[in-house]
Structure 1
């Protein structure tokens, strides 16, 4: 773990100094085991907004929904007036009464008679079918004026009275005349049904309408008639004029027509909301929709967004809902249109669709809806809006519904999850999103998605990106660590998608974060089935080796393992190994895991091979991580340790790091030498190759970490009397005194390590290596640190028994910890 610095100046001895126990010495020495850190993998921004990017692993490109398409008014269904619930109406209990005019001589004649010619029946059916088909055609719709001028629509004669608009049941299924033999105007379908009894009986239209109106008035439909009266009033006075203006402005070509049309759409929205006619409550909504659909052909992103919002609040369904979602998706594909979404409440409508629409019936519409949010979440301003509008909560509910819908439509659910996880990936970037990810249990929900879609590389990659972002924060790491079997799941994904570099590197980064601070996580990961086999197979796969015959041979992974094909990019190899070695370095901190890794021949050989194959200039971070891992493993000096029997070979490999220009590489190599120099062979190797000269030079560094590591090496080197003269010739004693003077008051650990090195250098009558001035200066510093000569003897005696024993690692101090 990282060494903690405490400010304690000057040093004051305890009143009853006690000798440290072996457990205290080992515990203090264990602090030399260090956690490695690394940067989060970089996710390049997708410049082309598409449902599935170029890196998508989906093979069925012909079957997946497209990102590019064209939409016109003719693509929409004009009526859209049938309720979307599909519920059948119950039959009426009463029998309808047909009005019979009193003037009729024979009441029997008032009822319609069937035609005698069977051919006439077929012709009548054909005409009816033709009228219905023509009524659904959007391109043959009449203008909006036809909906407001009732007299003109019915084409009443000069002697006939105009019917009351309040008493006519409203409908928008207008029958359009067709064919040369249809000379006269036709009534709407509902008007024809109302007028039919009177026409067939020979009664005038006015009298017939009076009878029908009387019949309605005497029944239970009085409230319904009053509502129709109110709706007709709003329609005639407010809505119809707005629709007329929309068509007239659309027919013109003025410069401000688009802005004017947008204002009219907003006015229409406000009027409908004020009259409580949004959703499907407006019986003439299909007339509004027809007008709006015709405006789509103007091809204005700003106007189409207003049209889309208005259509959504009118609760379009089926094909129209899909096309509106496609229309909004098409607008969101251009980054320049993001500003339009900021000034529009369309996001609320999109979130409403995600909350309410059924996956099985509106799956493709949901797909384009979530795709829109994915694009918009890349904008920082809209990202904030999405968080404020509870987008994460909506996503959590949608994930649960998608898991249920997978049983019936697994494919479309997978497509939607690709977009949804990509949206959550963008949301995870915002600091305020992290508490929401925890409170809505998104971390745990995504693990369930991983289990269900472990074969889908796109979904797995997106979720791995989410975890790589969130696992950098303690509360998110805790939530993930508490998810059952998450470690085993990650290992299975690493094994299954070993060739998917962007997935592998993010899962390894997440595992590195989990094992960085938690001893429990290190043990749980190591105890997972096939943990070391999976990690070492990945290591072997991504170990870039020269194909020449001079490549050093190494015993490979177990023969039962499947060969892993390496990726293409050299940088991708590098990034994977950096994250993987970091996981190994963090895992071996655990006292049960470390000894097991130290005895793993394949693991040690892979680490040594990396040191041999790579250069510091080209692979600095990787070699630093490898050196840190070896330093941690060198703590475990059991007889069965493979590293212990390879100390001299590792010391030779560390030379390239010590002699490099990288300060980080020099620091890690010095730490390794601090542990390995407990061996007499390694100490002789250091002196023979003049490494001690570089170590003494490091004492001039302004970095306390660098000085601390150098003091550890010098402490061990000074155990051999012949080495003390060589160190003194390099000025080691004088530089140690300077370190004690400069850094001692602020770092008791470094001060203790300097004292150990100085004691070993002057032990056994070698105090003459210090001149008079150096000795006086050292005594003044020690007296000042000890707070008087009374405690000096205790400190001297304690160090005599501990430093020369050589029973513990010398990369950490073994002196007594003094309090202020």
Structure 2
């Protein structure tokens, strides 16, 4: 409730007057809201921390703690020169070869001039054949027969020492053969050092490139190849087209292009490429975009996207040359085509950078809703290895993160299972870390983009069900454990949780996760002075403990949890005291409002303490903590409710919860005078909520006579009688709760009648009883305590009040009359009304009615008998 707004609307209305008309539905709503507030303990509600306004779209926000050398830049130049026309790069293999423990025998050959083998030596298979002078010349006859003989007899012909040398490799995984002139060559070196074999001499069904020489280590063990080069569709072995160079490329490194495929390329694809080049040279952006769409549609229709197209490299070379175009719409179409052709290495990185660069401009968002660019980005996300192409993945997910700032795109990405895909990525990273990999800065950069995207996706309507379904909450908890020191990442995760824990299902899932409490305590301990992290983690813990009794106990029992809460309380309270009198810079939020960050942290931390104290085992322990109570009182003593309303109200609510426990070691009882003095300021303030919260504390503290005497001196008892005129159900309820205690003291009872309290209580009974039997019971208890020394009902209550009270009680004790509600649309509330009428109201009302009737004089004066 905004008190300042009310003041503007109703400047002349006294605080105790009713606000608007009371309807049946409003009575039910108010009654439901009051059910959890009448036990003496209450969970504190607060606003979710506001996200600061980010004016720029970047990989990392302006407040990021990452240094430039530890993060990719958000701004960069990019053009055709950044793309590799051959597209031969491929992810590095993660397999490791066995280290060598023996020097190959060939490396110990003498340094004499190599001897040219004779024909007999070649035929015997003991020595490798002489390579042809022309590598491209096909040798048949004896050379062919020799190669076939070598494949079957080489192991039996060579000595065991030679075999040993062939089966080992140097420590770097490549065999080294030293020839007679001491020149060193790696067997697994690049294609420039290999001699291609004519097609006719290759083994059937094998498209690999074989060296045209005698069997060496390369013939004993084939060089490792990527998964894509090992198998094609249907499991048939074929060479990856990644290494093909088009029509002019090496035919020995890919499947041969059929005549039909070559004809299709020349008749359909080549003209489109030529038209694209022509449009680019003429700077006709519109035409270039149209032809690019035609090419994409053709390749998609013919199933030539991906890496299956024989002329893929030729197409990519042509596209790369067009990337200097300045129109971002055309760049996006070209980038989509490049990504759809499944580029790798530097080309993948450059393509993802290009998409990210385009997505930085909010004006380009509509372009991402055209065609299937979002599908291509999602496919890139799913197919990119976070460990072998980490930087490319950073820019790919970074683009998705920026696009999720658009609510329309968010809905599309949710439908395309973006949440599930990001959850799979998180799970993959967690699994690799569990297997022993060390968390790296680059993986952290990926996770920052992924969690920032999830933070925005969490606002979608079906996000909660999806997050729960793909176990994203559990994955985020594991990431907290692995990257606790990463402040940027912890901020993003806390933002996600601060959104989803507003809902009971997600809050319960997080509270049930076994290590969540330990994880959050570790984050608070590691980032104590990072207010944007602390405020959100505290908010999450406040949500977890608001309605979950088990969560309260488990959090408090977590090692060091309450100590860190007190440390945070002390640090930010000291910061707030230092800032008093100074003009504090407030943070501008997304909705344009401002917030004091220090106060916001205090609000959230105090809320956690308030919610913890609801637990009957935890509450007495916190109540006995003098340091905690001292900090709470300092807040009330240094802050004003008019300028820091939420902070003050949360603090009073916490003191109310602690004052509920009347233990011998209670710090509230020890400092009760200080507590009362602090609360008196709130009672006198023109703030209804502050007054109600203060009176809640009075209801607990007035169990002690010394407190009742102190408040009587301050005329608080008279103020409470005045509050009975309020139309606010809770205000009246709290006032009655305190007046019950005051009526215990006989010398304080006359005040009630003097202030017309009896009449006010009868009116309260009449107005609220049938919709609030708890309140009606309190009214009867006040009148019972008040009439403890009754001799005459009329003298005690007043003649009219006594008569009205007696009639009203008889009516309310009649079941048919009392429970004949004018509204029965809520079965739960109807059952509740009947239960409270039977168990709480009737017992005390019957006794009060009997007392009134017993002391009510029905005797009439006798008339003189006639004629006496």
CA pair 405-639 structure 1, distance change in 2 beyond 3 A: closer
1:695 paired residue number: 720
1:289 paired residue number: 316
**Secondary structure, aligned partner of 2:620:** helix
Task: Report whether the alignment pairs 1:314 with 2:341.
Answer: yes
1:77 paired residue number: 84
| Counterpart selection for 2:763 from 728, 738, 747 | 738
Q: List aligned pairs for 1:124-523, cutoff 5 A.
A: 173=245, 188=248, 228-253=258-283, 257-403=284-430, 407=437, 410-523=440-553
1:203 paired residue number: none
| Counterpart selection for 1:66 from 48, 73, 76 | 73
Task: Report whether the alignment pairs 1:683 with 2:702.
Answer: no
Deviation of 1:362 after TM superposition, in Å, equals 0.9
Deviation of 1:546 after TM superposition, in Å, equals 8.2
Q: List aligned pairs for 1:503-582, cutoff 5 A.
A: 503-544=533-574, 571-582=596-607
CA pair 188-511 structure 1, distance change in 2 beyond 3 A: closer
Bigger RCO (CA 8 Å, 6+ sep): 1
Q: RMSD over aligned Cα, in angstroms?
A: 3.5
Deviation of 1:394 after TM superposition, in Å, equals 0.9
Deviation of 1:749 after TM superposition, in Å, equals 0.8
Deviation of 1:410 after TM superposition, in Å, equals 0.8
Instruction: Work out whether residues 576 and 598 of structure 2, in 8 Å CA contact, stay in contact via their aligned partners in 1.
Output: no
Task: Report whether the alignment pairs 1:49 with 2:52.
Answer: no
Instruction: Work out whether residues 777 and 845 of structure 2, in 8 Å CA contact, stay in contact via their aligned partners in 1.
Output: no
Hey, what's the Cα distance between the residues in 1 that align with 2:728 and 2:639? 27
**Secondary structure, aligned partner of 2:806:** helix
CA pair 567-505 structure 1, distance change in 2 beyond 3 A: farther
Hey, what's the Cα distance between the residues in 2 that align with 1:654 and 1:451? 42
Hey, what's the Cα distance between the residues in 2 that align with 1:83 and 1:497? 40
Deviation of 1:305 after TM superposition, in Å, equals 0.8
Structure 2 alignment gaps of length 5 or more: 1-21, 26-34, 96-131, 141-190, 193-240, 588-594, 819-837, 852-868
CA pair 284-725 structure 1, distance change in 2 beyond 3 A: same
Instruction: Work out whether residues 7 and 747 of structure 1, in 8 Å CA contact, stay in contact via their aligned partners in 2.
Output: no
CA pair 793-376 structure 1, distance change in 2 beyond 3 A: closer
TM-score by length of 1: 0.74
Hey, what's the Cα distance between the residues in 2 that align with 1:189 and 1:528? 65
2:656 paired residue number: 631
Deviation of 1:79 after TM superposition, in Å, equals 1.9
Deviation of 1:282 after TM superposition, in Å, equals 1.7
2:632 paired residue number: 607
Aligned residue pairs total 648
| Counterpart selection for 1:644 from 656, 660, 669 | 669
Deviates more, 1:459-468 or 1:283-292: 283-292
CA pair 172-348 structure 1, distance change in 2 beyond 3 A: same
**Secondary structure, aligned partner of 1:361:** coil
**Secondary structure, aligned partner of 2:738:** helix
CA pair 238-635 structure 1, distance change in 2 beyond 3 A: same
Hey, what's the Cα distance between the residues in 1 that align with 2:596 and 2:622? 27
Instruction: Work out whether residues 73 and 295 of structure 1, in 8 Å CA contact, stay in contact via their aligned partners in 2.
Output: yes
Instruction: Work out whether residues 545 and 613 of structure 1, in 8 Å CA contact, stay in contact via their aligned partners in 2.
Output: no
Deviates more, 1:61-70 or 1:371-380: 61-70
Q: Deviations over 1:100-135 (max 9, x none)?
A: 99xxxxxxxxxxxxxxxxxxxxxxxxxx99xxxxxx
Hey, what's the Cα distance between the residues in 1 that align with 2:634 and 2:395? 49
**Secondary structure, aligned partner of 2:608:** helix
**Secondary structure, aligned partner of 2:667:** coil
Q: Deviations over 1:326-362 (max 9, x none)?
A: 0000000011111110113112122212212222321
Deviation of 1:421 after TM superposition, in Å, equals 0.8
Hey, what's the Cα distance between the residues in 2 that align with 1:430 and 1:439? 15
1:669 paired residue number: 694
CA pair 234-586 structure 1, distance change in 2 beyond 3 A: same
Deviation of 1:576 after TM superposition, in Å, equals 1.1
CA pair 619-793 structure 1, distance change in 2 beyond 3 A: closer
Task: Report whether the alignment pairs 1:782 with 2:812.
Answer: no
| Counterpart selection for 1:36 from 44, 47, 50 | 44
Hey, what's the Cα distance between the residues in 2 that align with 1:772 and 1:252? 105
Hey, what's the Cα distance between the residues in 1 that align with 2:138 and 2:740? 117
Instruction: Work out whether residues 578 and 621 of structure 1, in 8 Å CA contact, stay in contact via their aligned partners in 2.
Output: yes
Structure 1 alignment gaps of length 5 or more: 9-26, 89-94, 102-127, 130-168, 175-186, 195-220, 552-565, 803-820
CA pair 710-70 structure 1, distance change in 2 beyond 3 A: same
Hey, what's the Cα distance between the residues in 1 that align with 2:642 and 2:85? 68
Q: Deviations over 1:116-162 (max 9, x none)?
A: xxxxxxxxxxxx99xxxxxxxxxxxxxxxxxxxxxxxxxxxxxxxxx
